Chains A and B, each alone.
Chain A
Amino acid sequence: MSAPGNERTGSERMGRERMGSREGGVSFRARLAARGIDGTTLLVLPGLLLMLLLFIYPFAYGIADSLSPAEGPWYANYAKFFGDPFQSRTIAATLWLALPVTLVNLALAVPIAFRVRLMKRQRLLTTILVLPITLGTVFVADGLLTFLGPRGWFNHTLIGLGILDSPVKLTNNYWGVFASLLITGFPFSFLLVLSYVTGIDPAIEHAAATLGAGPRRRFWHIFLPLLVPGLAVTFCLAFVQAYAVFPSAVLLGAPSGPTRVISIAAYQAAFEQSDHAYGTAIAIIMGGVELVIVAGVLALRSLFYSGPVAGTKG
């Protein structure tokens, strides 16, 4: 199209296409196909449409909305958030929950996945471990409220065993939310990590063993470097999930105190103060924080090997 005198009208082009190679050149369709565009490309459309409708449009609308405050200049909502410590410290409060929970989840998922990969009845155990995912956060939060409460089984058992003198407070504070996030987030991290761990060719581990590496050195020298990219992705997904905590922070936490997470701030702005634009601004800030963490982790990941882990070229 760039060569001078080569511009054609649509009808001319269609005519040429119909003529095909008879004209001497390669048909329009063939040229498109060579660039990877053919009938199959149309299958992208439904997904693309969905992305536009459910993600791109709301996101763009949200940004526009957050920049149209009820009063003040265009950045007033953001200035209001960062100017009010009660609001801005929700960023740190949420990070203080989401980061440790994500790290603990990964730290639990890796060894368990390593054990499960060697087991014959993988499916049964996987099903049990994944069950919490199906329960929903509210259900888990409700259960934990009873279980971890002052008269719940947890405290009952520890007092009965003589380990505790008086019940330890595990609900309506940080630890309640922490436990709930751990339970609902673990299956997710575990499944992802398991798939990464089992994706590594067992012969690679065998090779390391025959070369004199014991289990510990096999983990540090072989498995961990190969798992880093997968663990980074798992971290990002688990973190984003944890950072968006809402129901359990309200039900199990202290929603006006230490577990006043950023989504509570957004909710209150939008639905209690009916300041929709301000609520949206807080949601955008929340997304921004997630983006910074995810980008940071992925940047770190690029320092490691991230090619295939199968061992063969096939």
Chain B
Amino acid sequence: MPATTTPDRGRERLELRDLRRSFGSFNALDGIDLTIEPGEFIALLGPSGCGKSTALNCIAGLLALTGGEIRLGGARIDQLEPERRGFGMVFQSYALFPHMNVRKNVGFGLAMQGIRGAEANRRIQDALGLVRLESQAEKLPGQLSGGQQQRVAIARAVVIRPPVVLMDEPLSNLDAKLRLEMRADIRGIHDQIGSTTIYVTHDQDEALSMADRIVVMSEGRIEQIGTPQELYQRPDNLTVADFMGFRTRIPGRVVSVAGSEAELDIEGGRVRATVRGAIRPGDAATLSVRPEDLVATPGEGIPATVESMEYRGRAWFGLASAPDGTRLYFRSGEALPRGAATTLTPTPGSALVFGEARA
């Protein structure tokens, strides 16, 4: 019997130990270690090709591991077929059964578990209520909008009360407005059903807004694990910083280090920044700062030439280049003409400094 019939499955810890998956000589997963607590919402975040979807497919059992193990509640499950793991999965392409109406789609997992009749109907109804689609139950997937289809897919995944719900970029086929709405919906559903959720995305806003913890991946490895706040404020390295919106990177040299603060020599002057990683005076280092924290202020700062500006409601954001060609993303209270000379200053406490070599 599939283990999903045990009611406590949602309260079990999921452990990934040294997960490895290679395709020929390419290591899509290069040793993933992660422990996910029951009921947690975990986002796997990274650029395309970083291995996040591979990791999800391995957890689902759709892809065999080439090394490592997966445990749920202490029991190894990595050798189980996907149909025996009982995880709910939501796909980027929705993957609804096109020949079944919404009710049958949602009821499919229950039917596979042998749950029929009144019990099945009640649970289908509950699941459709959860995604607000009670009125669409008799329609075929092709008659629904993209957002509705993805909600059906979510209902279909959670109706079997899986211990773990896996979501593979579920919102990337939807338009921007709908994505925002669905974020809140998905987090709400997660909180209601209490399953563990693993959510794969390349969108840091999604990860930051939904997850309890974010796992940033790159090239088949985990770069950093942390709460959204931790990652947003204290990225461990440049890769994570880049993903957390630290778009500007300015090369420089460390002058002095005092506690978590360092002074850095960069073209156009000295700046103070928060130290990330091990650096010593004299080291080459990179100053990293978000566009909203690099402000165009007349007078002191990094000299730059404006390349382009764009209006984003409350402020203007622009791209400028330093004399050495470094690209600087900055904020400004007003539109600056292209080619104008300006000076840019990081707001106090906002800039980070990373050692040149990755930790």
Contact = CB atoms under 8 A, between A and B. Distances in A.
A206 B185 CA distance: 24
27 contacts: A203-B95, A206-B60, A206-B89, A206-B95, A207-B89, A207-B153, A209-B81, A210-B60, A210-B61, A210-B62, A210-B157, A211-B83, A212-B86, A212-B160, A213-B83, A221-B108, A225-B99, A226-B98, A307-B99, A307-B140, A308-B98, A311-B91, A311-B94, A311-B95, A311-B96, A312-B149, A313-B145
Interface of A: 201, 203-204, 206-214, 217, 221-222, 225-226, 304-305, 307-313
Given A210-B61, A212-B113, 4 more contacts: A206-B89, A209-B83, A210-B166, A221-B97
A217 B93 CA distance: 22
Contact of A212 (B112, B142, B173): B112
Nearest to B146: A313
Given A209-B62, A217-B112, A308 B82 contact: no
Contacts of A307: 98-99, 140, 142
B199 interface: no
SS class, residues of chain B in contact with chain A: loop
B82 A206 contact: yes
A211 to B, nearest CB: 4
Contacts of A209: 61-62, 81-83
Nearest to B144: A313
Interface string B1-13: 0101000000000
A304 B144 CA distance: 20
A64 to B, nearest CB: 45
Task: Identify which of B61, B112, B166 gathers the most chain A CB atoms within 10 Å of its CB.
Answer: B112
B93 A208 contact: no
Contact of B99 (A203, A207, A226): A226
B99 A312 contact: no
A210 B89 contact: yes
Contact of A313 (B97, B113, B142, B160): B142
B149 A313 contact: yes
B220 interface: no
A125 to B, nearest CB: 20
Contact of B160 (A203, A211, A225, A304): A211
Contacts of A305: 98-99, 140
Given A209-B81, A212-B83, A312 B109 contact: no
Contacts of B156: 207, 211
Contacts, number: 100
B88 A210 contact: yes
B41 interface: no
A210 to B, nearest CB: 4
A217 B83 CA distance: 11
Nearest to B2: A212
Interface in B1-37: 2, 4
B317 interface: no
A203 B91 contact: yes
Given A211-B160, A307-B140, A204 B95 contact: yes
Task: Identify which of A211, A305, A309 gathers the most chain B CB atoms within 10 Å of its CB.
Answer: A211
B173 A312 contact: yes
Contact of B82 (A203, A210, A226, A313): A210
B243 interface: no
A308 B96 CA distance: 11
A312 B140 contact: no
B85 interface: yes
B87 interface: yes
Given A210-B89, A211-B112, A304 B99 contact: yes
B91 A207 contact: yes
Nearest to B96: A311
Contact of A309 (B88, B98, B108, B153): B98
A204 B97 contact: yes
A304 B60 CA distance: 31
A308 B99 CA distance: 9
